[in-house]
Structure 1
């Protein structure tokens, strides 16, 4: 109430209206009650006329007529203020307090063929990977994502706080993993828009690239000037440039009989740096350049939106009319006042419960949501809660973990990170949960049972890692120079063997005779892409009768297949241009 009184704006007649004008009809029964009371007072004075006038001074105490009228007048004023308060007078809209959100860091790595040039040691791509690791080692604190691009862009990891996963994924990034060669900034900008569409805080896009054309520059400037985010470009080439290797032998790519030289146009960098939202970070021999970027991101991590007027919600100022009611109610305790008139309020003020259709008049949205939560209707309670912490908890109790996570991510406090971690555990995202627990511990080390949760998560992660190792394919043992034992069908001169034949020891090399039998066991291998089962007849196969060939565990191969599938799904019509480097 104190905050409302401090923030009241001057009265605006043009904007004045009632939020619940239907309650103004209550003035009609109030007027009826007033007339009945006045008539009753007048009716009680009629019997005095039956007393002779010369006896009246001795039988009646002379008093003021206001003694009878004042309670009625105050009753009128009090109930009138109550009706106006319930009707919801207002003349200005609510001010929405700016919400605190966290910025993100979106790293973008060029994987075109020109990144294999060796004007930077050992080559441009490896130097960029080193710089990314330096940046993560300096802990920018922001949720960090990784996007790569060539002829098509691909998200390696959406923004997350687990920097170890990012460093692991970087090792498998090479131009050969990209399904389309070349460099397409237009599609890259669309990928940025998709990744940052739900990010309200001004964030940083960090672009590692070795060459930009005039067209690319125009598109980047247009995008960044119409965005709240900042773009930091790290040029991954020397001013002199270098030849683009065509293969591992170092053969250069040629165009019109001449070797292609890839370098960053300094005029392009000058145009980009002229924009306030674009920054050029020149490479240094040490990690001071990445340390500066990490500090800049960390300093701008928390963003609070400006207060603004709501487009729909008006400030209910009915509370201003409650104060006169308190003042008037004090008079009912004076001697001689008819306290029984207070019974009128019993009929004027009906009782209400949180489930009543008019519950908004008496209970806040959070109180009504709390009542629903106590009754076990968690989903409905979550929808009605205005308080984000209670809303997220209600979604969590309703087992709607995706919605709960979306709510908890808006809270950067220790409790918000703690609740987010519990939700991530339910979603099976243990690495992110561990990071969220650690962040909560950093903000408030005194949170109860925090360390036990962290220990439990680490144990689960370790157990899952050990379980994955058990299911990895066994390596073929080293047999030296000897060829492994081969199988062949039995010939006439071979000794016939049966299941009862005893063999002391099988040889490790050479040949052995096998008796071929028909079985329903079938051999299979990993598909290059999932089969389209739509319209096809599905056959049930017993998994116990399938022999799976060894699956490649190379990160590069995994990313190559993943990018290929993404290209077929999202960019089916994109083809290589004239410049494939």
Structure 2
């Protein structure tokens, strides 16, 4: 904090000469001898002036100088931390690395560790409100299941298909999964988080965790310390030497991982406590990274309003002003409805400050009604789900950010053509903006899909043929042969039924073959 402390408007500190001048003028005005020495002879002045040794402990000039000093410091804008962007939760990417080693089939948690892990992943996806998520599967090797995508239904389809049998290499190599996740996040402009869902991390992978500095790591352990037998879907219980394999959650290893590498570690719970913990870690990792990379500082000067108010209270005399003020304030606050409290708030906070307080409380609709800043009003409408109003607010500002935000709102409204135009405007004003480029591609694909759907709907499948003719001569039919070789590859692909699990198994196996020298 001390290294980052600075004033956002340091030139206002020049005004600190004002309280010094007040104290100097006050000292001169309090010197009676100095005031009358040019009028009364010195030998008479000594007889006429009465020195007052006792007086008030707090002089009005001191109070005024203190108020001016604190007010100037507040206006100069003291700051020591960066402000978090308004779309933090919407843009934080997440890579989920799922352990598919054989021990994940253990049944110490019902129905099994892997099935419990799938349920937890579904809950994580549901809590992210469409934020981009990627999936990695790993055992003795690591493979990409899905790149970062906002399509929750696609993610859930492939998550349901995960199974330990699809991995081409047995064992567990968490370091390879971490390397693959880091390579994926290295291509992103936003800082991301890697979530490992596993029943243990091997000691040999600790060094890889220590070397990670670019992204946050969260580990969610699945299983129990007592362990349970490993039951495979098709071969029954896994056994070695005639004895069933009893797999235990490596609690000590996870604790050592946290202690030695600083990775956030927790174990899966029966309720959603672990999901809320994971979601909080994802937001915190993103916010902490943004705090070091952002270009907007949080103005903390408004906190100095409190000592100014206290100092002003000392300027009252004999208490009657205080009593009258408290009485009038009580009447205002007790007036019917919220008008009294609203007027009292208007006395001390600007509309934008009131909007910011409502925004941080999660009252986005209320924040939009207060903000005079059009960008923040648009952000509030966007968070409240009022995307049309958000577009209207953003449209009044001609910046790259406003066009980008308009594009996001248009996507929610399924107005893809306007979204494409908005993202194009954003790129015109800010060249090579990765977020705008990525969203432009998404908008173009959605627009193309929308047009294709409209063309299909225009074609009536129930349209009657122009004419129907019967071949009476060929009533008996004609025997013929079909050469299978003449069938095209497209026909084969249409008749080929492959489950997502089989597709991933073949894909992973081919990747292993390509990696071999």
Q: With structure 1 as the length reference, what TM-score do the two structures score?
A: 0.44
| TM-score (norm. length: structure 2) | 0.49
Higher helix proportion, which one?
2
Whichever of the two has the greater Rg, that structure is 1
